[in-house]
Amino acid sequence: MISENNNGLGAKRPPHIGRASDLEGRDRLLYRTLEMIPATLAWGTIIGSIVLSYFLPLWMAFFIITFDIYWLFKTLYLSAHLRQSWKRMKYHMKIDWQKKLSDDALSYGHLKHMIIYPFYKEEYEVIEKGIKALASASYDSKKMYVVLAPEERAGKQALAIAQRLKERYASTFGEFYIASHPADLPGEMPGKGSNIAYAIEKVRVDILDSQKISYRDVIVSAFDIDTVVYPEYFGCLTWHFLTTENPYRASFQPVPLYNNNIWEAPSLSRVVASSGTFWQMIQQERPEKLATFSSHSVSFQTLYEIGYWQKNMVSEDSRIYWNAFVAYDGDYRVVPLSYPVSLDANLAPGFWRTALNIYKQQRRWGWGVENVPYVLYNCIKNKRIPVLDKMRVSFTQLEGFWSLATNPLLIFLLGWLPVTIGSPQFKASVLAFNLPIFTRNIMLMAMVGLVISAIISLSFLPPRPKDAGRHRYAFMFLQWILIPFTITFFGAFPGLDAQTRLFLGKYMGFWVTPKTKTRK
């Protein structure tokens, strides 16, 4: 018996719906309809703006001004959260969490950390960087169970890399397990979700059950392969796990910093990556809006009860949160750690290749919109979720994806439409002359948020490599001027692309962001 509180595998398993075709009859029709909502809202806004600009430019101008002001205050409001998150993260990074655990008389010797690294064709050096960081973390490495999960479809090379790492690091950790994920298992979509779901069940049987380890004592960290932990990550995670009320109804979310190769990545990549970091930092201050993203941690017990990650969809990192939210009838949350992990910013040979990879990565993240029909569907079907929670999560999801796909376009492109295609009468009005001036001025005022972003991004930079001149700091600051461009071309467009695909039923597969070796 593992634990008297353990239910069976998947005892609370929510429906693992990947797409409408996983359902039958009216449910299928309902889910398909819900899949079409995000793109309908986004395209409705864009087309509506164009039509309104032509036929009723005056009303469109009112809308644009109202929206500009809303956007300005939203920027200021979010900047306040970002600043607070920054202070909290700096504070957390200074804490000796091991000492804090002792000072707070928290018993944690019974806890094990299972760290899963799924990978495909990444190189040895990329994977080793993360393992090395685990080994040098300020936490008892014997309490860490490292799980390498290579994809069988990646060929013998991936397995050979895993074996090589095991030979080198097996003695460092409590366990070092390799779970090679077979190709083409029935009901699976190739990707991270199916891989780690397979790996974790193997580990359960081969290690946890065989060593009679309580599932409640295991904290699973599902990491992207390029995740490099900061020294106190596990101390911080353990402290939060032990001090959170009912930690089995919570996921634990670090802040993803894309620092591994930040000095080598082009400015475009840096800005896009840092923007993602800032969004996560803002959300850390608004935990009720936070869903798990990228690398995160959660109790094994919880994963076991809800049947692990979905194997039939792309965005398993955020879906696992929604799975738990549905499984526990809304009684589930994300605990923000305000402590970073470091990952790779997009870096490919050549600017255009990098730009293309950024676009594809952003589109994959934008494909998180596949959670919208899932959330809405379960809010409709699950009567036990409190109504207010249903309204909150539904609005947050819809507003979030609508904003991603439309707000940059409204600010930077559609705002000029009434002046361009409006009637000559409108073009001769004082309002028409003022509209571009107001939009420009409001954008300039919103630059305050950018300056804060620039300062914060500088404060998290890893040490400057010797071959990078001091002037690079200036570029790291000035790069933020690219924001209007990046949030349009690497935010709105890939977001709209993903939503349109979902609308049309052209479902995306898992695209593995290429990781390249960087300087050691």
Partner 1 sequence: MRPMSKTKRRIYFVLFFILFLLVTPLVILYALGYRFDFAQRIVVTERGGVYVYTSLPGTNIYIDGELKETTGIFRREYLSQSIRPGRYFVRAENEGYRSWEKYVQVHAGRVTSVYPFLVPEVFDFEAVPEFIDIVSVGTSTPDQVSNPLYDQYILLFEDSLLVLDTATTSLLSDDLDVEPVGDNDVSEEQTLRRVFGKIQVTYDSLEKRFYAESFSRGDFLPAYFCENEQCVNPFAFLEVTSNVLHFDFYPGRDDVIVFAVEGGGVYAAELDKRPQQTVVELYVSSQGNDVDFRILGRDTLVIRDGDVILTTELTR
C-alpha distance from residue 283 to each of 81, 399, 400, 442, 499 (Å): 8, 14, 12, 24, 22
Residue type, 439: T
Q: How many residues bind partner 1 (CB under 8 A)?
A: 36
- Residue 50 as a binder of partner 1 (CB under 8 A): the answer is no
Closest listed residue to residue 35, CA positions, set 508, 499, 401, 391: 499
CB of 329 to partner 1, least distance (A): 23
Contact string 377-416 vs partner 1 (x = CB under 8 A): ----------------------------------------
Nearer to partner 1, 285 or 317 (CB): 285
Q: What minimum distance in Å lies between the beta carbon of 166 and partner 1?
A: 38
Question: Which residue in the set 23, 135, 178, 431 belongs to the binding site for partner 1 (CB under 8 A)?
Answer: 431
198, 307 contact by CB (below 8 A)? no
By CB under 8 A, is residue 428 in contact with partner 1?
yes
**Length in residues, the chain:** 520
d(CA 325, CA 318): 11
The Cα 208–Cα 214 span in angstroms is 7
| Nearest by Cα to 195 from 260, 121, 273, 113 | 121
Selected range binding partner 1 among 15-23, 182-190, 398-406, 429-437, rule: CB under 8 A: 429-437
Among 23, 30, 36, 80, binds partner 1 (CB under 8 A): 80
Give the range of 8-16, 139-147, 283-291, 343-351 binding partner 1 by CB under 8 A: 283-291
Told to check if 417 binds partner 1 by CB under 8 A, we report no
Q: Any idea of the CA torsion for 421, 422, 428, 434, to the nearest 10 degrees?
A: -90
Query: Of 336, 340, 408, 491, which one interacts with partner 1 (CB under 8 A)?
Result: 336
| Beta strand extents in 276-320 (DSSP E only) | 296-299
Does residue 351 belong to the site contacting partner 1 (CB under 8 A)?
Answer: no
Residues 117-176 that bind partner 1 (CB under 8 A): none
- Nearer to partner 1 by Cβ, of 2 and 76: the residue is 76
Amino acid 161 reads I
Cα distances (Å, whole numbers) of residue 330 to 34, 147, 390, 469? 20, 30, 8, 51
Query: Cα(300)–Cα(90) distance, rounded to whole angstroms?
Result: 29
CA 309, 223, 253, 201 torsion-angle sign: positive
Task: Give the one residue of 77, 351, 395, 475 binding partner 1; rule: CB under 8 A.
Answer: 77
Q: Which stretch binds partner 1 (CB under 8 A): 11-19, 191-199, 417-425, 502-510?
A: 417-425
Contacting residue, 62, 124, 412, 507, with partner 1 by CB under 8 A: 62
The 82-101 site mask, x for binding partner 1 (CB under 8 A), equals --xx-xx--xx---------
How many other C-beta atoms lie within 10 A of the C-beta of residue 319? Answer: 26
Q: Note whether 73 binds partner 1 by CB under 8 A.
A: yes
Binds partner 1 by CB under 8 A, chosen from 199, 432, 476, 512: 432
410: left (phi over 0), alpha (psi -120 to 50) or beta: alpha
267 binds partner 1 (CB under 8 A): no
Report angle CA 377, 379, 381 to the nearest 5 degrees.
70
Q: Quick check: helix, strand or coil at residue 270?
A: helix
> What amino acid occupies position 482?
L
* Residue with Cβ nearer partner 1 (3 or 425): 425
Among 12, 32, 81, 202, binds partner 1 (CB under 8 A): 81
SS3 279: helix
CA 442 to CA 465: how far, in whole Å? 38
Q: Is 434 in the site for partner 1 (CB under 8 A)?
A: yes
How far is residue 516 from each of residues 153, 226, 365, 485, 519, measured CA to CA in Å? Answer: 19, 10, 20, 25, 10
Exactly one of 122, 188, 232, 285 binds partner 1 (CB under 8 A); which one? 285
Residue choice 26, 424, 466, 520 for contact with partner 1 (CB under 8 A): 424
Instruction: Indicate whether 287 belongs to the interface with partner 1 (CB under 8 A).
Output: yes
> What residues numbered 437-456 form the site for partner 1, per CB under 8 A?
438
Question: Which is closer to partner 1, CB of 91 or CB of 473?
Answer: 91
Pairing verdict, β 296-299 and 218-222: antiparallel
Interacting residue ranges for partner 1, rule: CB under 8 A: 61-62, 65-66, 69-70, 73-74, 76-77, 80-81, 84-85, 87-88, 91-92, 284-287, 336, 338, 423-425, 428-435, 438
